[in-house]
């Protein structure tokens, strides 16, 4: 162990480290006590020195991880840092993945599951899988078509898509490209309720069936990896970023650049209705009263808040820590899922996101009571690597893996997946 630490310290001081596309976090993980983190770091190191192993086309991928190094190679440094960052030392990103290791599968045999039905119904709309395309901002930072390519992939594979407030595509254009409803994820205007109300009404007019109010970033977050990546990026891009610093959505003075955020612009001037302080449950009451859309809350991780959400009329919840980029709680969302489901007592659907990369991950969440699951970084890897085709392939691989696990577990449909199909590991 002492020799390994000395070797890692030597590597940390080597100029070859950055040239290989590695960073100090990879070295820390190599020496970590967690087997998963050490294995993932070793894989990253191997990929950095074996570019020849990168897939050249989407169809060559064996799993969603195959897209990550390709996307990283194609996406500018600062843009990649924006996608990859967590908060503080990014440890909750790893915790989200490690949370799935707390559960093992209990396969069943001799059940006829040649054609498992993985479909779910959310508010009257049927989808062939429980995989939701979660909101990710600034997608044209990863591919020229951005959210349009994702919407077309969602249409081709018939997935629910949720569009970010800070998307680089308007809600109207996303719904047109999807050919069906797209849910709208809401970041409220911190100073003006009148502008928030305008955004909500616009989404409803455009055809959104649901509003997803995100609450896990209300206190802010400390995205060190994003800032470090921006400092390494030599480009000066005043066309896209105020001040020229190539940080998606943020100017050099750390305020929001809305020039490429169509959902934040184009509103008529109306009298201001000032906001005072951080939103509370009263804000949820206002949202519910302001729209006919379903209102879901994204970022709930405790039983107490799940109970309050139901009391205040929320139509659904996302168990989420923003992919490890909200608080650095070191608590996996799949670990939080059971108590949130308990808090709702089955009265509203619960969607879980954070670290989903395999069909087994999806199955475990469904067994713990999730109505659906959301993915973020994996489909952006596909987008950055191969555009719409990459997104479609990511969705297809996850569906294929999930249906395989359903067959192995002897579950013919989603309703058949229960807590009896998983067991806690020591």
pLDDT tens digits along 317-348: 999 999 999 999 999 999 999 999 999 999 99
The answer to whether position 87 is within a domain reads: no
> How many domains would you assign to the chain?
2
Mean local confidence (pLDDT), 94-116: 96
Output the CA–CA distances (angstroms, integers) from residue 232 to 102, 164, 240, 357, 407, in the order listed: 37, 27, 17, 28, 47
Residues constituting the chain: 426
Question: Do 313 and 403 share a structural domain?
Answer: yes
Q: How many CB atoms lie within 10 A of CB 412?
A: 16
Output the CA–CA distances (angstroms, integers) from residue 96 to 130, 209, 272, in the order listed: 19, 29, 40
> What domain range is 22 assigned to?
1-53
Q: Quick check: is 236 catalytic?
A: no
Which of 350, 423, 419, 383 shows the shortest CA–CA distance to 122? Answer: 350
Using DSSP, state whether 373 is helix, strand or coil: strand
pLDDT at res. 7: 60
Q: Which residues have CB under 8 Å from 181's CB, separation 6+?
A: 125, 175, 207, 208, 209, 210
Question: Do 375 and 277 share a structural domain?
Answer: yes
Question: Do 12 and 113 share a structural domain?
Answer: no
Which of 263, 265, 227, 270 shows the shortest CA–CA distance to 246? Answer: 227
Which helix (H) or strand (E) segment is 340 a member of?
Answer: helix 333-344
d(CA 175, CA 259): 21
The answer to whether position 75 is within a domain reads: no
Q: Which of 79, 188, 322, 421 is catalytic?
A: 322
Instruction: Work out the pLDDT band at 426, boundaries 50, 70, 90.
Output: confident
Question: Do 164 and 23 share a structural domain?
Answer: no
Predicted TM-score of the model (pTM):
0.87
Question: Do 141 and 35 share a structural domain?
Answer: no
d(CA 315, CA 145): 32
Task: Flag the least confident range among 8-12, 113-117, 124-128, 210-214.
Answer: 8-12
The answer to whether position 301 is within a domain reads: yes
The answer to whether position 64 is within a domain reads: no
Q: How far is CA 300 from the centre of its chain?
A: 14
- Joined together, the tokens standing for residue 399 give 């569906």
Mean local confidence (pLDDT), 403-418: 98
Q: Which residue has the higher pLDDT, 240 or 261?
A: 261
Question: Do 220 and 162 share a structural domain?
Answer: yes
d(CA 230, CA 119): 41
* DSSP assignment string, 163-182: E-TT-SS-HHHHHHHHTS--
Percent above pLDDT 90 for the chain: 78
The answer to whether position 250 is within a domain reads: yes
Task: Flag the least confident range among 27-41, 126-140, 283-297.
Answer: 27-41
CB 403 within 8 A of CB 410: no
Q: How far is CA 151 from the centre of its chain?
A: 15
Question: Do 419 and 342 share a structural domain?
Answer: yes
The answer to whether position 305 is within a domain reads: yes
Strand positions, DSSP E, 84-157 = 103-105, 120-122, 125-127, 131-133
Q: Which residue has the higher pLDDT, 420 or 8?
A: 420
Question: Do 283 and 220 share a structural domain?
Answer: yes
Q: Where do runs of H (alpha helix) occur along 53-146?
A: 67-74, 77-84, 91-99
Question: Do 414 and 324 share a structural domain?
Answer: yes
The answer to whether position 95 is within a domain reads: no
The CATH number that applies at residue 335 is 3.20.20.70
Q: Is the dihedral of CA 320, 325, 331, 332 positive or negative?
A: positive
Question: Do 124 and 47 share a structural domain?
Answer: no
Question: Do 217 and 147 share a structural domain?
Answer: yes
Which of 355, 373, 379 shows the shortest CA–CA distance to 414? Answer: 373
Using DSSP, state whether 97 is helix, strand or coil: helix
Output the CA–CA distances (angstroms, integers) from residue 115 to 105, 118, 270, 363, 406, in the order listed: 20, 9, 55, 16, 10
Domain boundary residue, one of 12, 35, 53 = 53
The answer to whether position 133 is within a domain reads: yes
pLDDT at res. 38: 74
Question: Do 34 and 180 share a structural domain?
Answer: no
């Amino acid at each position: 162990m002492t020799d390994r630490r000395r070797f890692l310290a030597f590597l940390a001081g080597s100029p070859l480290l950055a040239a290989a596309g590695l960073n100090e976090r990879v070295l820390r993980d190599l020496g970590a006590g967690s087997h998963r983190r050490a294995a993932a770091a070793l894989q990253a190191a191997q990929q950095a020195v074996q570019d020849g192993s990168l897939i050249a086309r989407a169809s060559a991928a064996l799993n969603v991880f195959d897209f990550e190094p390709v996307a990283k190679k194609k996406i500018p440094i600062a843009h990649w840092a924006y996608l990859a960052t967590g908060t503080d030392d990014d440890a909750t990103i790893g915790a989200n993945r490690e949370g799935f290791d707390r559960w093992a599968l209990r396969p069943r045999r001799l059940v006829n599951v040649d054609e498992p039905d993985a479909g779910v119904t959310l508010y009257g709309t049927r989808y062939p899988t429980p995989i939701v395309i979660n909101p990710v901002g600034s997608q044209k930072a990863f591919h020229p078509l951005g959210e349009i390519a994702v919407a077309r992939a969602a249409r081709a594979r018939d997935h629910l898509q949720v569009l970010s407030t800070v998307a680089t595509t308007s809600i109207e254009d996303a719904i047109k490209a999807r050919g069906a409803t797209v849910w709208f994820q809401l970041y409220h205007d911190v100073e003006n309720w009148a502008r928030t109300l305008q955004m909500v009404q616009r989404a409803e007019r455009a055809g959104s069936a649901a509003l997803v109010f995100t609450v896990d970033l209300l206190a802010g977050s400390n995205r060190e990896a994003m800032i470090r990546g921006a400092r390494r990026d030599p480009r000066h891009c005043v066309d896209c970023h105020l001040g020229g610093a190539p940080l998606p959505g943020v100017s050099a003075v750390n305020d929001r650049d809305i020039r490429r955020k169509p959902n934040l612009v184009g509103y008529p001037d109306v009298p201001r209705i000032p906001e005072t302080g951080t939103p509370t449950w009263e804000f949820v009451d206002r949202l519910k009263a302001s729209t006919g859309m379903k209102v879901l809350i994204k970022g709930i991780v405790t039983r107490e808040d799940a109970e309050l959400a139901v009391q205040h009329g929320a139509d659904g919840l996302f168990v989420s820590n923003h992919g490890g980029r909200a608080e650095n709680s070191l608590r996996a969302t799949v670990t939080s899922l059971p108590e949130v489901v308990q808090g709702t007592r089955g009265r509203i659907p619960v969607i879980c996101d954070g670290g989903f990369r395999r069909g087994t991950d999806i199955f475990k969440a469904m067994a713990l009571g999730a109505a659906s699951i959301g993915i973020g970084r994996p489909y952006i890897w596909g987008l950055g690597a191969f555009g719409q085709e990459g997104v479609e392939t990511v969705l297809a691989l996850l569906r294929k893996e999930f249906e395989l696990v359903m067959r192995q577990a002897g579950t013919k449909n989603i309703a058949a997946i229960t807590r009896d199909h998983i067991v806690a590991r020591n």
